[in-house]
Structure 1
């Protein structure tokens, strides 16, 4: 079978409105003056993963539901500008959108508009099957309606990854993703015991690798029943925004893993890409390029 796509990214296409606020949590006030401006741009989790993978030279394709609306036009324009293949299935409810409040230290608070979708939304089975069978690997966002596509993806023979983001380890919505993927990413931010959650994912699902990112503490990698800590990389410039850091980590990890690096070495790639992303304002969609990533991973 010919697999002309290195990575198919399923879901996670949308638009964010970025607001830089004086502090988080934001105290109540009648109004705030935002001197840095308020900007709406294309780019949610799936968009940032596919941008990161493309910047590293992988052949990528993005599949999701998009509305016939200004937000959808922004997503389409971003993919055209970056030369990334996009299959957009019409979404009558509109394109996914969110508002991200970003504090001075780069932390963010995201407000997701859940009205841009319906419980019975589905991606066309024939489209999912054809693209998955043409792909070496599929990265699945946890946005609706990707869970319903997981059985088809498993049948395709492609390896799967997913990012559970700030899962608390209990919410049942995330479990189908956690148990279907070969590589599982998640944030340690909401976990009382990250190792316990990571081992539960590995025990109950099919994951070969589970990776918990921990911000300035680096990342923890569970592979072959062994937990390894990978230190955080030093950001190459001032940290301004954590938006997209996890997506950058996942893209760089997958680049290395698909090129047969070890899980721990792949996580090192991820920490470097994630640190780079923290120095890029959320209003920008610039991903680390392969030459820079390889230079930094080669530096002792």
Structure 2
């Protein structure tokens, strides 16, 4: 497998709100509010760059911010392939953190909604061994069409495909079978526990692996503080625990895990070592505010 990975997904500005207590309707509540670069695809790309991977990132941003974002990604070891949108600004995500580190989101995807086939030309796949697609790209008609064309080109070239479902909220909205039909066959699935249950309708962990393995050759289920497991149509083949760490913010932890796993895989490491690398990056991510490496 070529060592280059192509990531396709959203670019967002994350506005992270940490209230001092419960929000008071119609009144004030003191809060810590911070801006951070984010977006599932962008997070994955930056974590991959931090892990030393050769990573190309394709996305759409507001035209006014395009040069800024290109410089930002280059500075973090990511090769940007960004389209500029003249009509919509770059996306914004408001994250509200509760005292336990759990998150609620308010999302304006902005320019991400206009991702088009012209933004994802087939030559992006030149020299690429794996294409990693954020599930957010499937939840709007334009980006979905663009990504599906790219995935067909990847299949015809024999380029491995990895999918991260990205959002239980959007999955529930469109329906799991619809999402699976949109995605088609792929080599890798990186799902968290909630996504795996939604996609299969099964609470049993082993059944989730087997059912998802009918569509995805390799299934990785991220289990948060319980670590992660790898399997396929024959069920779980191995799992690894997670270290005990102080959780500050879980934003981007799944993106960090996927990046750590993929970077290790592109280095030719065993699947067990890839699991451990993913878990290590996920644990690193939850110890700081924001979805990208500090």
TM-score by length of 1: 0.80
* Aligned residue number for residue 285 of structure 1: 292
Deviation at 1:74, TM superposition (A): 5.6
Q: Which of 230, 243, 255 is the equivalent residue of 2:251?
A: 243
Deviation at 1:14, TM superposition (A): 1.9
Change over 3 Å in CA distance of 1:177–1:199 after alignment to 2:
farther
Deviation at 1:278, TM superposition (A): 0.6
Does residue 268 in structure 1 map to residue 279 in structure 2? Answer: no
Q: Which runs of 5 or more residues in structure 1 are unaligned?
A: 288-300
Measure the CA separation in 2 of the matches of 1:65 and 1:74: 13
* Aligned residue number for residue 194 of structure 2: 189
Q: Which runs of 5 or more residues in structure 2 are unaligned?
A: 138-142, 198-202
Pick the structure with more helix per residue.
2
* Aligned residue number for residue 200 of structure 2: none
Report if aligned partners of 1:188, 1:212 keep a CA contact under 8 Å in 2: yes
Measure the CA separation in 2 of the matches of 1:152 and 1:94: 29
Cα offsets for 1:58-91 (capped at 9, x unmatched): 1111001111245x56633421331421111123
Does residue 135 in structure 1 map to residue 128 in structure 2? Answer: yes
Report if aligned partners of 1:66, 1:94 keep a CA contact under 8 Å in 2: yes
Measure the CA separation in 2 of the matches of 1:101 and 1:164: 21
Change over 3 Å in CA distance of 1:246–1:39 after alignment to 2:
same
Report if aligned partners of 1:202, 1:208 keep a CA contact under 8 Å in 2: yes
Deviation at 1:34, TM superposition (A): 3.4
* Aligned residue number for residue 210 of structure 2: 199
Q: Which of 69, 81, 101 is the equivalent residue of 1:87?
A: 81
Change over 3 Å in CA distance of 1:31–1:154 after alignment to 2:
farther
Could you list the structure 1 runs, at least 4 aligned residues long, displaced by more than 6 angstroms after superposition: none
Pick the structure with more strand per residue.
2
Count of residue correspondences: 275
Report if aligned partners of 1:189, 1:214 keep a CA contact under 8 Å in 2: no
